[in-house]
Structure 1
Amino acid sequence: MKKICLSVLGLYIGMLAAFSQDTSQYKSRKLTFEEANFISSYYNQNGNNSAVTGGIGTEKLTDLSNSFEIKLNMWDKKERKHTFDFELGIDHYTSASSDKIDPKTISSASHADTRLYPSLNWSVENGKKGTTFGAGLSVSHEFDYTSFGMNVLFAKKTNNKSGEFSVKLQAYLDKLKLIQPVELRSYNNTYGENDYPTASRNSFSTSLSYSQIINQRLQVIFLADVIYQHGYLGLPFHRIYFKDGTESVETLPADRLKVPLGVRANYFLGDNIILRGYYRYYRDSWGLEAHTANIETSVKVTPFLSVTPFYRYYIQSAVKYFAPYEMHTSAEEYYTSNYDLSKFTSGFFGAGFRLIPPKGVFGIQHFNMLELRYGHYQKNNGMQSNIVSLNIRIK
């Protein structure tokens, strides 16, 4: 994993050196380097409500995530700005609960896995008309899951440039391997990687937003999404233990409609403090209803160093098909013991430190920004997690 990260970072520094030689002030019609970001994070969690073992058992998991992004731009003959955004992500996780899919083996196929997810997005902005059009493609692959994504975007500024409306359409076409618990498999246990049966899952969404500058201190943005999913929407290795002692895997409807509505606000409280607030209401066709409230404060300690403490509160109801371990009956049409679909409340708090010195971090001119963040997450059922992330920006 370290070799991969260092290779990506080396590639990115080499590209920076090539593009940063163009220091002219005119609008270049050649592809020019704008900025690059390298983000690395470490996540760990623990709990005792694993869906793999029917709602009981360890949820211990660790994940190391690395993402590299580079943005390039150019201007065409009509003075429109074209931006190309390429991102490559690599995650590697280990999961004790997934290892229970086949507890007789030393390590099952899902005990540890690596996910690779490149994406490419393009947008063209017409400053005179105040319009932006964009499109993108993405791929995500791991051992038992492959996803292909595509999106289109249109945005239009108001006549006075103080507001902007945008609409984004997205589609994800997924294929997953039906890796069932070992004791429930009807196919040969001595299989190769391509011998698992498969199923599809497709997601389509429309995202609407309107942002408005109210005055010099206050900015707001209103958000609305409509998301429709169809296909195999559960996971084939999530066990269900019925009241009569029999066993199966979770079964969920093949359709799900989600509607989240949200609002964000940024308030500039003087020169050194920014307050950021966020609220979201969510409801779906499975009966889940949720509220999210988030507050973050950015405090400028020095002209180059800022601290950003944050707190997020979340509460949700359970879906109609959830019940704990050995509480379902086999007469039910749909059932799950996945505690992500249960009723719970959670809190997430932490802080970030951002350094943006005018001469560059450590005196390196193009090393524009260094940010370190830590967050602690906890559910009221005892599940806890921690995440540490590092963000490096080059301009």
Structure 2
Amino acid sequence: MKIFKSIGFIVTLLLVASGYAQQDQDGVKTYKKRVLETTEVDFLTSYYSQDGDNAAVSGGLGTEELTDFTGTFVVSIPLNDDDVLTIDAGVSAYTSASSSNVDPFDGGQPADPFVASSGASSSDTWANLSGSYSHSSDDRNTIVSGKLSVSSEYDYFSLGFGGGLTKLYNEKNTEVSVNANVYLDKWNSIYPSELRPFASGANGLANGLFSNNTITGNTDYSPVFNEFTDETRNSYSVGFGFSQILSKNLQGSLALDFVQQQGLLSTPFQRVYFADVEDSFIDNFQLADAIEQLPDSRFKVAAGGRLNWYVNETVVVRSFYRYYYDDWGISSHTASVEVPIKLSDKFTVYPSYRYYQQTAADYFYGYEEALSTETFYTSDYDLSEYSTNQFGMGVSYTDIFTKMHIWKLGLKSIDLKFYKYDRDTTFSSSIVTAGFKFVMD
């Protein structure tokens, strides 16, 4: 109930602000430039692929192969001179050799951590719908915004809401902003198939999985397993921003973000193998000793800045740096640079490079490194120590006159990007993205 009261308060505040902003001090509506002249429609799509040998689903050992295709529509609608409503709807469909091994025994072939199972967990669809509303004051120096979102996939549901305030000063050369968001998530926990018969202390070896298959290695298979009693996860974030035009050719910005998470922060289907427990197998697949166990709270801090240098009408240099820290023991550094080069009035290319380095979480253990006496443990290599390099290239086409049309929509711009990402482990990925911006005639 408190959630809906908070949403109602945000909406009421925005509507009241909108009503007052329609008039000047003597009650007469004056002319002003619209925040958004006409409806804009963006279609965004991407194709992502990855591979590696450290799948968390199979305890840090196994294929990380995954492909994902995403399509998103973003529609921005001017409600009047001051207010803009934006609707964002997207669907992501993936196939994953890694997640298929949540149940490696349902595919009809010998189970193996480096071979995808063809069972039901090999693919899924994620869907998201969000709406945001922004109101700008008459002088355009104050912007108030609110947002509501919902997303879902086969084992996860998320509801989010938030708002923000932006103030401009010094003839719009200085910008200060604050935003806050809340996400209320719910797991539908799915556990590794060999652990499910042991739930609540049951004698799992009587299950059909074990009676129909031969256990090799340690035949007295006895995992540590209890189902999670709390399947909720709540995330609260607040961010502060500061932007300043430093000179005719130089602009800088700073950002500071805080995130607090509470609830189920472990991933229920990620296995862990203990160094002090003898291995058990069915086919070539090692049976889990336990599932990932992580603390039920996490506090994150990120601080960073951007510096954009407009060298001339042809070249711009965009640089970025961020430092991150959390109370799980991870700290990281991110640095990137992008150099848009304007080839003509319509075409721009922008090569980019990004470097990332992080320390390991206190609870990270590689394959068969954790001990059964530990309270918290994970073999998710996203929480390990590593560094990455990412190279990118993009090209954009812009036509401010929107000469090309599809129905009543004029094509304003096209953006194509390609990124290649490599860790100093076996993990690598690539992504191709495309964006098309249309404006309503």
Higher fraction of strand: 1
Question: Which residue of the partner structure matches residue 14 of structure 1?
Answer: none
Report SS of the residue matched to 1:116.
strand
> Aligned pair in 2 of structure 1 residues 127, 263: CA closer, same or farther (>3 Å)?
farther
SS in 2 for 1:53: coil
- Give the Cα–Cα distance (whole angstroms) in 1 for the partners of residues 67 and 40 of structure 2: 30
Q: Which amino acid aligns with 1:388?
A: V
2:344 corresponds to which letter in structure 1? T
CA deviation after TM superposition for structure 1 residue 382, in Å: 1.6
For residue 32 of structure 1, report the CA deviation from its aligned partner.
7.1
Deviation at 1:160, TM superposition (A): 2.5
**Aligned with residue 41 of structure 2, among 36, 51, 66:** 36
Aligned to 2:51: 46
Tell me if the contact between 2:163 and 2:181 (Cα under 8 Å) persists in the aligned partners. yes
Unpaired runs of at least 5, structure 2 = 1-30, 108-117, 209-227, 279-288
Residue of structure 2 in register with 1:265 after alignment: 307
In 1, Cα distance between equivalents of 2:126 and 2:391: 27
Q: SS at 1:52's partner residue?
A: coil
TM (normalized to structure 1)? 0.87
Identity, in percent, stands at: 38
Matches within 5 A, 1:114-129: 114-128=125-139
TM-score after normalising by structure 2: 0.78
Residue 197 (structure 1) shift: 7.5
**Is the Cα contact below 8 Å between 1:177 and 1:198 reproduced in 2?**
no
Give yes or no for contact 2:230–2:263 (8 Å, CA) kept in 1.
no
Give per-residue Cα distances to partners, 1:49-84, cap 9 Å, x unaligned.
000000010000000011100101133xxxx61010
Q: Give the aligned partner of residue 237 of structure 1.
A: 269
**Conserved 8 A contact 2:41-2:75:** yes
Paired position in structure 2 for 1:19: none
**What residue in structure 2 maps to residue 219 of structure 1?**
251
1:357 Cα deviation after fit: 2.8
Partner of 1:326: 368
Per-residue deviation, 1:109: 3.8
- Name the CA shift for 1:174/1:28 in 2 (closer, same or farther; >3 Å): same
Paired residue for 2:69? 64
Task: Report the alpha carbon displacement of residue 129 of structure 1 after superposing the two structures with TM.
Answer: 6.4
The one-letter amino acid of 1:238's match is Q
Which amino acid is 2:85 matched to? F
- Which whole-Å deviations, capped at 9, do the CAs of 1:35-55 have from their partners, x for residues lacking one? 111001000000000000000
Could you tell me which residue of structure 1 aligns to residue 426 of structure 2? 382
Q: Does 1:93 align with 2:135?
A: no
Deviation, 1:216, is 1.3
Aligned length: 361
Whether contact under 8 Å (2:394, 2:415) holds in the other structure is yes
- Work out whether residues 180 and 239 of structure 2, in 8 Å CA contact, stay in contact via their aligned partners in 1: yes
Q: In the TM superposition, what is the alpha-carbon distance from 1:335 to its structure 2 partner?
A: 0.3
- Contact kept, 8 Å, 2:399 with 2:411, in 1: the verdict is no
- SS of match in other structure, 1:110: helix
* d(CA) in 1 for partners of 2:378, 2:121: 20
Which of 123, 143, 149 is matched with 2:160 structurally? 149
Using the TM superposition, name which of 141-150 and 352-361 deviates more: 352-361
Distance 1:100 1:361 in 2: 50
Moved more, 234-243 or 123-132: 123-132
Unaligned runs of 5+ in 1: 1-25, 191-195
**Deviation for aligned residue 1:127:** 3.7
Higher radius of gyration, 1 or 2: 2
In structure 1, the residue matched to 2:436 is 392
In angstroms, what is the RMSD of aligned CA positions? 2.2
CA distance in 1: counterparts of 2:138 and 2:64, whole angstroms: 50
> SS at 1:182's partner residue?
coil
The change in CA–CA distance for 1:357 and 1:87 in structure 2 (over 3 A counts) is same
Residues 101 and 108, structure 1, Cα contact 8 Å, conserved in 2: no
Judging changes above 3 Å, is the alpha-carbon distance between structure 1 residues 361 and 328 closer, same or farther for their aligned structure 2 residues?
farther
Shift of 1:28: 9.5
Which residue, 342, 346, 349 being the options, matches 1:304?
A: 346
Q: Name the counterpart of 2:333.
A: 291
2:83 aligned partner, one-letter code: H
Instruction: Specify whether residues 56 and 350 from structure 1 end up closer, same or farther in structure 2 by C-alpha distance, changes over 3 A only.
Output: same
Against the structure 1 CA distance between its residues 235 and 34, is the aligned structure 2 distance closer, same or farther, given a 3 Å change threshold? same
Moved more, 129-138 or 139-148: 129-138
Q: Counterparts of 2:236 and 2:77 in 1: how far apart (Å)? A: 28
296-305 vs 240-249, greater mean Cα deviation:
240-249
Deviation at 1:361, TM superposition (A): 6.3
The structural deviation recorded for 1:259 is 0.1
Measured after TM superposition, the shift of residue 215 of structure 1 is 1.3
Q: Give distance in 1, aligned partners of 2:32 and 2:122.
A: 51
Secondary structure of the structure 2 residue equivalent to 1:214: strand
Q: Cα gap change, 1:147/1:127 in structure 2, threshold over 3 Å: closer, same or farther? A: same
Q: Does the CA-based 8 Å contact 2:352-2:393 persist in structure 1? A: yes
Amino acid of the structure 1 residue aligned with 2:254: F
Task: From the superposition, tell whether residues 141 and 338 of structure 1 become closer, same or farther in structure 2 (CA, over 3 Å).
Answer: same
The structural deviation recorded for 1:108 is 3.8
